[in-house]
């Protein structure tokens, strides 16, 4: 994905480590009520201790950039 600096940050979303159903963090104990720890963007190798990721979109970016007409376009 090519980053666009128009909203002042690198990407319009945050990747989070979540449980299989996406309701809680894959790394924190349940009593912390964490909804998913942020996975930092870096050159470090990814820790595969979690197998499910959530894409937490910034609402402003989602509203301004999401193109419904493109969601079903398939290039062959």
Backbone angles phi, psi at 59, to 5 degrees: -55, -40
What does the pLDDT read at residue 33?
Answer: 96
Q: What is the pLDDT at residue 4?
A: 53
Is the CA virtual torsion 11, 60, 5, 8 positive or negative? negative
Sequential pLDDT tens for the chain (76 residues): 455 555 566 788 999 999 999 999 999 999 999 999 999 888 888 767 778 999 998 888 887 877 777 777 677 7
Number of helical H runs and strand E runs in the chain: 1, 3
pLDDT in tens, 22-32: 999 999 999 99
pTM above 0.85, yes or no: no
Residue boundaries of the structural domains of the chain: 12-70
Cα separation, 49 vs 30, in Å, equals: 16
């Amino acid at each position: 994905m090519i980053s666009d600096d128009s909203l002042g940050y690198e990407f319009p979303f945050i990747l989070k480590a979540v449980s299989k159903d996406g309701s809680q963090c894959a790394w924190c104990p349940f009593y912390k009520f964490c909804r998913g720890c942020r996975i930092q963007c870096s050159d470090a190798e990814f820790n595969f201790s979690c197998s499910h990721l959530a894409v937490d979109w910034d609402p402003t970016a989602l509203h301004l950039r999401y193109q419904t007409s493109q969601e079903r376009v398939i290039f062959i």
